[in-house]
Structure 1
């Protein structure tokens, strides 16, 4: 954004600080009008013919813009993928601990990557891993917490399922 003497056009279309159109005038006259009001002449539409300029307090405008940007940034939430690793023949207590972790992650609004890690010959029985993943997904669905984003799939020595939190309105 160009302001005051940085503007290079000979003629400009001017809007007042109250957004009232003042018409097309020579740049010198527009600058004089802005100076009389102790404000800046800011080019808001440089590609228009003639360029559109507004008389405003540029410092105040910049401050308001920063405030708006900060507010928008505050409302943004990055989605994090948290991983819960289990084994195909997991004990009940360990399963409960992992399940509670998954619930906590989902309540925080994070996605959960459930991973069943196979060791050695356990890979020859992927149905055991799928059973664990399906059990956890079914429990979470029963609590109306998740959407299965990616079904259980064997990747190397791991079986992975991705769950995302259900957005409640």
Structure 2
């Protein structure tokens, strides 16, 4: 974010502290007004001419900058992959609990890996269970690839929407 003296444009479109439109004025006038009101002049976008700027209280500006930095750091790291383990023969209530857990993870923006550990010959039941769970999670996530059936487990990866 560009603020105060760092704004290089000759004229700016100014919005007041309470959201009222103050019109187009020179940057010097806008900075003078910001000083009088003891607030910061913050440039919202450099894409248009004159650039839209807003008068923002100093504490709000600092909090907004901290939130933006945290958001950028999270975006750089990328989404986490979180595993939800199930068994092939699962009770209805446990299934619902795991489904809600996966929904929460997807809504937080992370990737869910649904894993069913196999015992004996239950790969068909496990695959059917994972297919059903992927269908139930379709409103908040989409399946990355097909369901992978290996010797000891059945895995599906669901990406957030």
The answer as to whether partners of 2:127 and 2:147 remain within 8 angstroms in 1 is: no
- Render the CA deviation track for 1:105-153: whole Å, top value 9, x for unaligned: x72435114467xxxxxxxxxxxx7x42124456x58xxx73486264x
Of 147, 152, 160, the match for 1:150: 147
Gapped regions of structure 2 (runs ≥ 5) = 103-112, 136-145
Aligned pairs, how many? 126
Deviation at 1:35, TM superposition (A): 0.8
| Map of 1:11 onto structure 2 | 11
Report Cα offsets for 1:9-67 as digits up to 9, x if no partner.
Answer: 11111111111111111111111111111101111122211111111114313315656
Distance 1:82 1:54, change over 3 A: closer
Compute the displacement of 1:70 (Å): 7.4
Distance 2:21 2:27 in 1: 15
Contact 2:12 2:26 in 1 (8 A): yes
Provide the residue aligned with 1:34 in structure 2. 34
TM-score (norm 1): 0.53
Distance change (3 Å), C-alpha of 1:78 and 1:16: same
When residues 32 and 163 of structure 1 are mapped into structure 2, their CA distance, relative to the original with a 3 A threshold, is closer
TM-score normalised by length of structure 2: 0.55
Q: Secondary structure of 2:32's match?
A: helix
